Amino acid sequence: MTENNVAGLPAGDEKYYTLGAEVHDTKANTDVPIEKIWPDRQFNAKLVNPANRRKMTVIVVGTGLAGGAAAASLGEAGYHVENFCYQDSPRRAHSIAAQGGINAAKDYKNDNDSVYRLFYDTVKGGDYRARETNVYRLADVSSNIIDQCVAVGVPFAREYGGLLDNRSFGGVQVQRTFYAKGQTGQQLLIGVYQSLSRQVAAGTVHMHSRHEMLELIVKDGHARGIVTRDMVSGKIESWTADAVVIASGGYGNVFFLSTNAMGCNTTATWRAHRKGAYFANPCYTQIHPTCIPVHGENQSKLTLMSESLRNDGRIWVPKRAEDADKDPRQIPEADRDYYLERIYPSFGNLVPRDIASRQAKNMCDEGRGVGPAIKEIGPDGKERMVRRGVYLDFSDAIERLGKRGVAAKYGNLFDMYKQITAEDPYETPMRIYPAVHYTMGGLWVDYDLESSIPGLYVAGEANFSDHGANRLGASALMQGLSDGYFVLPNTMNDYLAGNHEGKLPDDDPAVVEAVASVKDRVNKLLAVKGERTVDSFHKELGQIMWEYCGMARSEEGLKTAIDKIRVLRDEFWKNVKVTGVNEDLNQTLERAGRVADFLELGELMCIDAMHRRESCGGHFRVESQTPEGEALRDDKDFLYVAAWEFTGDGQKPELHKEPLVYKAIELKQRSYK
């Protein structure tokens, strides 16, 4: 590590951030064996009498798997729940887009799976940068998740004998992924929606669709409510409660092009961050290796092709660059490089996402990429044309299983690919390339999923807790349902038992201040009256983030990105063009507020990536790699969670380190060879 200066930081870092006190999770009793920590916490957490729950109100922001499950479960428990989403229906939450499956340690395939193995695979897959207590709990409740989903009617795939079927996902050598064809997220979300609808009908949950959270209300240091904007009428309202849950998803759209729905944003979490909630590990973003490649300059969305395809599809590129523009069916077997099978013989095409993504980039950087060449800006700032694609080939699977057998497993994915590309994957190999997908960073939470603001809980992808530096495939759905169905209902009671203040009046100073800040921000955006569109700013930000904070990062590049983002943000507030008025449906205003938050988050992501001078999982620093080009961790200097505190507009963020302690797992370098 570079020499420290008087501020306790590496020389030069004092320009970007300050160092604060360490932060610790005090809710998990690590003096007991890891398998007893969750039962111990459940027993020692305070309870709320069922009759008293009816007197308490909880706000839940988000209706995906985490938010919807939390709202339904808390409503079922007897609490009054105010549930918010910006979509026109809870069923439009982005969880619906998940395709491949959900993990659980049931060992239905009798291939030596277990709770401990799922725990171990998850910590290892995250490159030993996850908190092991939270991960073990996730593995422990995974089987309960499947039982719950079956009970509400999720139509999981089944074997001939009627048992639930399983398939493999990246980073593991067992079959533990439950699935519903290629639409698992959709089916799970429908199950959650049914549970949620039952509580809406019962009157315990009050649903507010087309409402976007724009501010967190904090009184006496505790989260007490939110401020929303009605996206149809523009009405700005305050809502107060005894506690708040944010389950608003991740921030992958900071890159502009991602697999996320175009409405996905960071505003709910970023507004909470600005009110005092620590933001943990923002540089940990996941690049998914199995996406339809970029095909032009005017795209606004990338499409995910499920990781489940890597069960039967084989990934390859031509051995010679001169074959890159040939029809793949005309390239003989001897001239194909099945590079993942060659480099990682133990895991082959099912290596973790970060590894598969980097190797795809390496093949294309060597000039062996396939598909049309696209224009991009190189590290030297000059334009170049590069083929960004590799083949995902099902010819062996079709020969082995038949077309009907492949269609039974992946038919809807094949249809989707054909609709988008006008190519038939039954006849010619798919072309895939990595794209921004999931974010492992998020608001810092303790074992109870409570943030650094008492009374503010964070669930699902919006928090940082369970995946470390890389998420294994089929674990996002597992975490969302675990947090919503099983964790929050057993931890929030500890807070609510001692903090039942009821709703705040509209004239409370904390409410008045929060509402005024939202109105001021909206008016400021409308008053700029510049000449440049919101989307042009978002697209430029995305290009900066992808080039300098994407698949590979360097100190020089990250410092360049920080400077560019600051200049872009200044221009945004001077020259953005926001048409229309607040008191109406105004999608330009909606996007402007979200992009303003992305511009602030993007800078923090680059500062976090710059300060972490190691490679781990999805965070690959070119200065820290093995001779074979693999990620090289630095456990001596970076075995911690980076939790960032907002200190004010124009002020340097403050870094709080949470040391990571491994008692149940041996800390070692990852290997999938």
Segment 515-559, tens digit of pLDDT: 999 999 999 999 999 999 999 999 999 999 999 999 999 999 999
pLDDT per position as a tens digit, 367-419: 999 999 888 877 677 788 889 999 999 999 999 999 999 999 899 999 999 99
Q: Looking at this protein, which amino acid is placed at residue 74?
A: L
| Residue 210 among the catalytic residues | no
Work out the burial of residue 454: count CB atoms within 10 Å of its CB; fewer than 13 is exposed, 13-18 middle, 19 or more buried: middle
Q: Which two tokens stand for residue 171?
A: 């980073």
Would you say how long the chain is, in residues?
A: 673
Distance CA 571, CA 565 (A): 10
Please check whether residue 106 is in contact with residue 146, taking contact to mean a CB–CB distance below 8 angstroms.
yes
CA end-to-end distance (rounded Å), the chain: 28
Residue-level pLDDT at 2: 44
CA nearest to 351, candidates 109, 673, 122, 625: 673
Instruction: Find residue 10's DSSP bridge partners.
Output: 4
- Tokens 């990620």 correspond to 631
pLDDT per position as a tens digit, 103-160: 999 999 999 999 999 999 999 999 999 999 999 999 999 999 999 999 999 999 999 8
Please check whether residue 643 is in contact with residue 657, taking contact to mean a CB–CB distance below 8 angstroms.
yes
CA angle 236, 239, 240 (to 5 degrees): 150
- Tokens 């980097």 correspond to 358
CA nearest to 575, candidates 525, 539, 541: 525
**Beta strands at 654-659 and 18-19: parallel, antiparallel or unpaired:** parallel
CB atoms inside a 10 Å sphere around CB 19: 16
Q: What percent of the chain has pLDDT over 90?
A: 91
- Signed CA dihedral, 357, 362, 368, 372: sign only: positive
Please check whether residue 526 is in contact with residue 586, taking contact to mean a CB–CB distance below 8 angstroms.
no
Please check whether residue 217 is in contact with residue 455, taking contact to mean a CB–CB distance below 8 angstroms.
no
Residue-level pLDDT at 160: 87
Q: What is the average pLDDT score of the chain?
A: 95
Q: Which two tokens stand for residue 103?
A: 């993990």
Contacts of 636 (CB under 8 A, 6+ apart): 1
Residue-level pLDDT at 300: 85
Distance CA 229, CA 525 (A): 14
Please check whether residue 58 is in contact with residue 48, taking contact to mean a CB–CB distance below 8 angstroms.
no
Lowest pLDDT segment from 2-11, 230-239, 608-617 = 2-11
pLDDT per position as a tens digit, 337-360: 999 999 999 999 999 999 999 999
CA nearest to 218, candidates 455, 501, 461: 455
Read off the pLDDT of each residue in 497-524 and give the average, rounded to a whole number.
97
Please check whether residue 328 is in contact with residue 445, taking contact to mean a CB–CB distance below 8 angstroms.
no
Distance CA 238, CA 621 (A): 43
DSSP-derived letter for residue 628 is T
pLDDT per position as a tens digit, 254-303: 999 999 999 999 999 999 999 999 999 999 999 999 999 988 778 888 99
**Beta strands at 205-208 and 177-178: parallel, antiparallel or unpaired:** unpaired
Read off the pLDDT of each residue in 37-66 and give the average, rounded to a whole number.
98
Catalytic residue among 53, 91, 131, 353: 353
Please check whether residue 320 is in contact with residue 399, taking contact to mean a CB–CB distance below 8 angstroms.
no
Using only the alpha carbons of the chain, give its radius of gyration.
24
DSSP-derived letter for residue 589 is H
Read off the pLDDT of each residue in 323-348 and give the average, rounded to a whole number.
96
Residue-level pLDDT at 181: 86
Residue-level pLDDT at 1: 35
Q: Looking at this protein, which amino acid is placed at residue 321?
A: A
Our measurement of the distance from residue 66's CA atom to the centroid of its chain's CA atoms, rounded to an integer in Å, reads: 12
CA nearest to 258, candidates 660, 559, 550: 550
CA nearest to 393, candidates 370, 425, 369: 425
Q: What percent of the chain has pLDDT over 70?
A: 98
Q: Which residues of 105-132 are buried (b: 16+ CB within 10 A; e: fewer)?
A: bbbbbeeebebbbbbbbbbbbbbbbbbb
Work out the burial of residue 15: count CB atoms within 10 Å of its CB; fewer than 13 is exposed, 13-18 middle, 19 or more buried: exposed
Give the Å distances, CA to CA, from 10 to 14, 17, 58, 382, 546. Answer: 8, 11, 43, 32, 25
Q: Which two tokens stand for residue 537?
A: 């700013």
Distance CA 289, CA 391 (A): 11
Give the Å distances, CA to CA, from 204 to 83, 89, 293, 480. Answer: 10, 18, 45, 21
Distance CA 651, CA 658 (A): 22
**What are phi and psi for residue 247, nearest 5 degrees?**
-135, 60
CB atoms inside a 10 Å sphere around CB 673: 11
**What are phi and psi for residue 594, nearest 5 degrees?**
-70, -40
